[in-house]
Amino acid sequence: MVPLAPLHNPSNILGIEAARARFPHVPQVAVFDTAFHHTLPPHAFHYAVPHDLYTEHHVRRYGFTDIPRVRRNRGIETSRQAPAEVNLVTLHLGNGASAAAVQCGRSIDTSMA
């Protein structure tokens, strides 16, 4: 899976291997953190590809990072607003770069595949 995320997967694999070496009987589990972006509207998750690729093969944007959720929570904490009142543009630089739009506490767009 390294080719799918070459900036992230190698270091994550090292962590799993180190944990496996230290705790050989403890299961290691990898979880994709796409849940925050499940609120993307269709105009944000559809790629400019034929519609049948979406309907038949589920080709769509998922947004593979949870960093915007963490930043949204920090925005809620510092602004003392209710989650549904928080509007943000989150930016991430380092080990890649990404941006996400958060409206009323929900992800509405992302630069991530």
Q: Do 54 and 87 fall into the same domain?
A: yes
Q: Do 20 and 74 fall into the same domain?
A: no
Q: Do 64 and 16 fall into the same domain?
A: no
Q: What is the pLDDT of residue 68?
A: 65
Q: Do 50 and 102 fall into the same domain?
A: yes
Spatial contact of 37 and 107, defined as CB atoms under 8 Å apart: yes
Spatial contact of 92 and 8, defined as CB atoms under 8 Å apart: no
What mean pLDDT is predicted for residues 70-98? Answer: 78
Q: Do 16 and 41 fall into the same domain?
A: no
Q: What is the pLDDT of residue 35?
A: 78
Q: Do 45 and 21 fall into the same domain?
A: no
pTM of full prediction above 0.75: no
Q: Do 74 and 101 fall into the same domain?
A: yes
For 5-22, what is each residue's pLDDT tens digit? 787 788 888 988 999 999
For 39-79, what is each residue's pLDDT tens digit? 899 999 988 889 898 889 888 887 766 666 667 777 777 77
Q: What is the pLDDT of residue 98?
A: 81
Structure tokens that stand for 3 in this block: 């080719």
Number of domains in the chain: 2
Q: Do 39 and 26 fall into the same domain?
A: no
Q: Which domain holds residue 39?
A: 33-110
| Cα R_g (the chain), whole angstroms | 17
Q: Do 5 and 45 fall into the same domain?
A: no
Q: Do 21 and 41 fall into the same domain?
A: no
Question: 42: helix, coil or strand?
Answer: helix
Q: Do 44 and 80 fall into the same domain?
A: yes
Q: Do 12 and 64 fall into the same domain?
A: no
Question: 109: helix, coil or strand?
Answer: strand
Catalytic residue annotation: 33
Q: Percentage of residues in the chain with pLDDT exceeding 70? A: 88
